[in-house]
Amino acid sequence: MTTSNVLISEVGPRDGLQNCSGIMPTEDKKRWISALAAAGVKEIEVGSFVSPKLLPQMADTDEIVRHAVQIPGLEVAVLVPNLKGAQLAIAAGAHKITLPLSVSETHSLRNIRRTHDQVIDEAKAIANLIAEQSDGKRPHFEGSLSTAFGCTLEGPIDEQVILKSAERLMAAGCDEVGLSDTTGYGDPASMRHLIRAVRRVVGDENLTGVHLHNTRGLGLANVMAAYEEGITTFDSSLGGLGGCPTAPGASGNVVTEDLVFMFESMGVDTGIDLEALMATRDIVSAALPGEELYGFTPRAGLPLGFKGAPVPAAAE
């Protein structure tokens, strides 16, 4: 069942920047995040609490979170690899925490240096930490099923491993699980199949979001397949920035500008002002000279008279 509105979760300041060779200055990050929020983006993954030795692009995440949580109406999300990261995220005031469990254990060991069992132990510890927080200070806790559609290190992943991982994350205390096509292996048929399979074991209400990459040009096709399965939250990155440094060959995310244009053209409300969104590309271009930004919509421009189609009336 499809809905008349969706949530676009901008991951450029985290997933996008972690794969860039340059480091965006902190003040430019703040300007970018504030501009995205002003354009109507309601959720932004602003960084990750990881070692700056591994990802120097994320060294200022604490300061960035503390800035972002001051923006009215913005849901501030972060990625954490372990309990220590969650402690830092909660101290900074993050509203949402995502813990990645790569269903490819080879990738998990390379990405966050944890086996599946160790990730589940971290999930339990994080859930307990969240439960200890006072009302109003408990962040939403998502367990991300990374490399769910295939891995550049292991290839296809046994579906039973994926389903068991989803069950274990929920049992460990996650509020929901998300599906991540980290390497861009997914296609519309596999997207539909895996969403249905995971929902059978965790419940429809516990899988509402997907994180998709556009490695082979199927990003928007996969979005449509997920949307038609009732998924309502879609991660994307301005200019298609991003990729996974520990997954060889994994390239950028679905382009936020193209994603918003597609939904608005269909009469599906994103709440985002496309022209204001595209203007934020200037901030990124100036802060990261030489970094290529992708997207068909920014290059072609909006169609003459485009305002976003009204939501179609229900058929009688």
Asked whether the predicted pLDDT for residue 251 surpasses 70, the reply is no
Using CA atoms, how far residue 59 sits from 62, 97, 186, 196, 311, in Å, is: 8, 17, 31, 38, 42
> Any idea which of 42-56, 160-174, 218-232, 241-255 has the lowest mean pLDDT?
241-255
**Considering only CA atoms, which of 10, 15, 1, 14 is closest in space to residue 252?**
15
Q: For residue 312, is pLDDT > 70?
A: no
Q: What is the mean pLDDT of the chain?
A: 93
Residue 21 confidence (pLDDT): 86
Q: What mean pLDDT comes out for the span 183-194?
A: 96
Which one of 20, 151, 174, 244 is the catalytic residue?
A: 244
Quick: pLDDT tens for 116-159.
Answer: 899 999 999 999 999 999 988 899 999 999 999 998 888 999 99
pLDDT at position 314 is: 47
Residues of the chain with pLDDT > 70: what percent?
94
Average pLDDT over residues 252-259: 95
Mean pLDDT, range 97-104, rounded to an integer: 94
Q: Is 244 a catalytic residue?
A: yes
Model confidence at 52: pLDDT above 60: yes
Q: What are the boundaries of each domain within the chain?
A: 7-300
Sign of CA dihedral 27, 77, 130, 143: negative
- Whether the predicted pLDDT of 315 surpasses 50: no
Query: What is the fold, at CATH topology level, of the domain defined by 7-300?
Result: TIM Barrel (3.20.20)
